[in-house]
Amino acid sequence: MSATHVVTNQVPPLVDFDAADYPVILEALHREGADHAVEELHEVGRLAGSAASLELGDLAEAHPPVLHTHDRYGNRIDEVKYDPSYHQLMTTAVSLGLHGAVWSDPRPNPHLTRAARSSVWGITDAGHGCPISMTYAVVPALRANADLAAQYEPLLSTLEYDPSLQAPLSKRGLIAGMSMTEKQGGSDVRANRTEAVPQADGSYRITGHKWFTSAPMSDVLLVLAQAPGGLSCFFLPRILPDGTRNAMAIQRLKDKLGNHSNASGEVEYDNATAWLVGEEGRGVPTIIEMVNMTRLDCTLGSATGMRVGVQQAAHHAAHRSAFGAALADQPLMRNVLADLAVEAEASTTVALWLAALTDRAVAGDEQAADLRRISLAVSKYYVCKRGPIHAAEALECLGGNGYVEDSRMPRLYREAPLMSVWEGSGNVAALDTLRAMARQPQTLQALLDELELAAGADANLDAAVLRLKDAFTDVDSLQHRARTVVG
């Protein structure tokens, strides 16, 4: 080999490390009395940080799912084929209880400990986290139909991943999805036109088109449709109890900016069979807790992405020299890394605090429920909106190497905007915060009471709280100023 090609001053790969070795996560567990989860978390961390697991994420990203509308004989099959790496990631995520298992976990702090494990495992790949998150979030909505919950909740909670295409009750475990958004309405789901016609046997027939259905190969979907009594929520299995395929066609998969390992598609329902969840006309209130749970995971996902960015930037700076010194020893780079680290730690702290609030709210703590209601919307707006800016700054720390796909930084950068878009983009989250304050004034008071606990600790925080209170004096212009108030 030519003597001119000598590799020096290149950064070694960041592999085979404990991804749970992150003080903020461990402190959050300790703060809530969840030290019992630390040993298991480190096991997850060593698995997530292994070269093998990180390679699975790379493979799933590089080999996105492919839609097969027909088989070789011309029969309509509507199947999405995934790379084996995706199924391996899903198998691990389910075995770790990152999906619906939290609802049957008898141990203390189940939502907090699940969030900690999710954040640690999430460094491998964000895409497969979407169906995992929806399976976590579907359970409280499904409980609006006690009969359906009794049949399906155990299979949504099992630690076995079963990707086979068969009747749900014959499987070892289930994955759930949401099918809400339509092309003419987007986040305005009350504009949905999909129709639901009641049948004599108690089921409904669903007809309509959904513009975004993430993970359309899910075993069961919650679908919003217009019933005689108004917009309602329905439980729709891909495979019917008799083993036949439900009348749904996957028209195409979206060619997305990021999140490549996860399929998102357009789905046509043509007289598909479904069952009502909750009451007719109460579709949004029924499904809203599923939305809240996935919003929690959006905040958690953004925080995880920030942590990955900090890890990569700090690792690069520690092993790369320029202008006569290691980057990590140069004052300006240290300032940048510190800023990135502080924001990642703050975002992770908020996400895990929300998970702890969820534990208390589920246990019946009304004050925690009020605080969680408004804080989910605020954090969904602010933390998720900061993700892309953070990813860009972290990428820049690697210079030109960060702009190359091999570094994983472009993937992180493409992924970052998604958490701000999913479950309502910025304006939707900001307006939802105002809606919470208007309909449930106690939610704002709960937030102010929480902030009051830190009064006097920091002058900047005290000043910010005063500005926040002043922002509510002019009620007429609140909607115009929603982003400023919430952010």
The pLDDT tens digits for 72-125 are: 999 999 999 999 999 999 999 999 999 999 999 999 999 999 999 999 999 999
pLDDT score, position 207? 98
pLDDT score, position 188? 82
Q: Scanning the structure block, which residue is given the tokens 């402190």? A: 27
Q: Is 284-486 in CATH node 1.20.140.10? A: yes
Q: To 10 degrees, the CA torsion angle through 148, 245, 189, 433?
A: 50
Q: Is 168-282 in CATH node 1.10.287.40? A: no
Residues 226 and 194: beta-carbon distance below 8 Å: yes
Give, in order, the Cα–Cα distances in Å from 262 to each of 82, 212, 310, 407, 479: 9, 12, 24, 21, 35
The two three-digit tokens of residue 93, written as one number? 């995520």
Give, in order, the Cα–Cα distances in Å from 344 to each of 29, 88, 339: 17, 28, 9
Residues 420 and 426: beta-carbon distance below 8 Å: yes
pLDDT score, position 256? 97
Q: How far apart are CA 225 and CA 424, in angstroms?
A: 19
The pLDDT tens digits for 425-459 are: 989 999 999 899 889 999 999 999 999 999 999 99
The pLDDT tens digits for 285-335 are: 999 889 999 999 999 999 999 999 999 999 999 999 999 999 999 999 999
The two three-digit tokens of residue 122, written as one number? 């999430």
Q: Of residues 183 and 48, which shows the higher confidence score?
A: 48
pLDDT score, position 159? 98
| Cβ-based neighbours of 454, under 8 Å, separated by 6 or more | 461
Q: How far apart are CA 266 and CA 250, in angstroms?
A: 6
pLDDT score, position 17? 98
Q: How far apart are CA 96 and CA 207, in angstroms?
A: 37
Q: How far apart are CA 429 and CA 291, in angstroms?
A: 12
The two three-digit tokens of residue 261, written as one number? 């390992």
pLDDT score, position 136? 98
Average pLDDT score over the chain: 96
> Which residues, listed in sequence order, are joined to residue 227 by a DSSP beta bridge?
230
Q: Do domains 168-282 and 284-486 have the same CATH topology?
A: no
Q: Of residues 371 and 435, which shows the higher confidence score?
A: 371
Residues 298 and 137: beta-carbon distance below 8 Å: no
Report the 3 state secondary structure along the chain.
CCCCCCCCCCCCCCCCCCCCCCHHHHHHHHHCCCHHHHHHHHHHHHHHCCHHHHHHHHHHHHCCCEEEEECCCCCEEEEEECCHHHHHHHHHHHHCCCCHHHHHCCCCCHHHHHHHHHHHHCCCCCCCHHHHHHHHHHHHHHCCCHHHHHHHHHHHHCCCCCCCCCCHHHCCCCCEEEEEECCCCCCCHHHCCCEEEECCCCCEEEEEEEEEEECCCCCEEEEEEEECCEEEEEEEECECCCCCECCEEEEEECCCCCCCCCCEEEEEEEEEEEEEECCCCCHHHHHHHHHHHHHHHHHHHHHHHHHHHHHHHHHHHHHCEECCEEHHHCHHHHHHHHHHHHHHHHHHHHHHHHHHHHHHHHCCCHHHHHHHHHHHHHHHHHHHHHHHHHHHHHHHHCHHHHHCHHHCHHHHHHHHHHHHHCCCCHHHHHHHHHHHHHHCHHHHHHHHHHHHCCCCCCHHHHHHHHHHHHHCCCHHHCCCCHHHHHC
Residues 69 and 80: beta-carbon distance below 8 Å: no
pLDDT score, position 1? 56
Any idea which of 30-34, 314-318, 482-486 has the lowest mean pLDDT? 482-486
Q: Of residues 463 and 189, which shows the higher confidence score?
A: 463
Longest dimension (CA), the chain: 81
CA within 13 Å, CB half, 430: 16
Report whether pLDDT(3) > 80.
no
Q: Scanning the structure block, which residue is given the tokens 């989250």? A: 429
pLDDT score, position 479? 86
Radius of gyration, alpha carbons of the chain:
23
Domain boundaries, the chain: 23-65+82-144+152-156, 168-282, 284-486
pLDDT tier for residue 2 given thresholds of 50, 70 and 90:
low
Report whether pLDDT(59) > 90.
yes
The pLDDT tens digits for 129-146 are: 999 999 999 999 999 999
Phi, psi dihedrals of residue 150, rounded to the nearest 5°:
-60, -35
pLDDT score, position 472? 82
